A and B are shown apart, each in its own frame.
Chain A
Amino acid sequence: MAVEKMSLAKALNESLRKALDTDPKVLVMGEDVGKLGGVFRITDGLQKDFGEERVIDTPLAESGIVGTAIGLALRGYRPVVEIQFDGFVFPAYDQIVTQLAKMHARALGKVKLPVVVRIPYGGGIGAVEHHSESPEALFAHVAGLKVVSPSNAADGYWMLQQAIQSDDPVIFFEPKRRYWDKAEVDTESIPDPLHTARVARPGTDITLAAYGPMVKVCLEAAAAAEEEGKSVEVLDLRSMSPIDFDAVQRSVERTGRLVVVHEAPVFYGSGAEIAARITERCFYHLEAPVLRVGGFHAPYPPARLEEEYLPGLDRVLDAVDRSLAY
Chain B
Amino acid sequence: MTVENTAARKPRRSSKRVSAAKKPTSSEPQLVQLLTPEGERVANPDYDRHVADLGPEELRGLYRDMVLTRRFDAEATALQRQGELGLWASLLGQEAAQIGSGRALRDDDYVFPTYREHGVAWCRGVDPTNLLGMFRGVNHGGWDPGSNNFHLYTIVIGSQTLHATGYAMGVAKDGADSAVIAYFGDGASSQGDVAESFTFSAVYNAPVVFFCQNNQWAISEPTERQTRVPLYQRAQGYGFPGVRVDGNDVLACLAVTRSALERARRGEGPTLVEAFTYRMGAHTTSDDPTRYRHDDERAAWEAKDPILRLRKYLADQGHADEAFFTGLEAESDTLAKRVREAVRAMPDPDDMAMFEHVYADGHALVDEERAQFAAYQASFSTEPDSGSAAGAEEGK
Contact = CB atoms under 8 A, between A and B. Distances in A.
Interface of A: 31-32, 34-37, 39, 52-53, 57-61, 63-64, 87-88, 90-91, 126-130, 224-225, 228, 267, 296-299, 301-305, 308-309, 313-315, 317-318, 321-322, 324-325
B157 interface: yes
B225 A57 contact: yes
Given A36-B219, A305-B354, A128 B188 contact: no
B344 interface: no
Contacts of B187: 59-60
A4 to B, nearest CB: 25
Interface in B347-373: 348-349, 351, 353-355, 358, 363, 365-366, 369, 373
A230 to B, nearest CB: 9
Interface in B165-215: 187-188, 190-193
Contacts of B345: none
B303 interface: no
Interface size class of B (residues with CB under 8 A): 35 or more
A297 B221 contact: no
Given A296-B369, A308-B354, A60 B155 contact: no
Contact of A37 (B87, B137, B155, B291): B291
A128 B277 CA distance: 26
Interface of B: 15-16, 19-20, 86-87, 133-140, 155-158, 187-188, 190-193, 218-221, 225-226, 286-288, 291-292, 348-349, 351, 353-355, 358, 363, 365-366, 369, 373, 376, 388-392, 395-396
B219 A61 contact: no
30 contacts: A34-B220, A36-B219, A39-B219, A53-B15, A57-B221, A59-B187, A59-B226, A60-B218, A60-B221, A60-B226, A61-B190, A63-B192, A91-B191, A91-B192, A91-B193, A126-B86, A128-B86, A128-B134, A225-B389, A301-B353, A302-B133, A302-B137, A302-B139, A302-B349, A304-B138, A309-B354, A313-B388, A318-B376, A318-B391, A321-B396
Given A36-B291, A88-B156, A296-B354, A64 B190 contact: yes
Contacts of A224: 388-389
A60 B190 contact: yes
B391 A296 contact: no
Nearest to A221: B388
A225 B387 CA distance: 12
Contact of B358 (A228, A297, A304, A308): A297
Contacts of B221: 31-32, 57, 59-60
A313 B157 CA distance: 35
A87 B140 CA distance: 14
B197 to A, nearest CB: 13
A53 B16 contact: yes
A299 B349 CA distance: 15
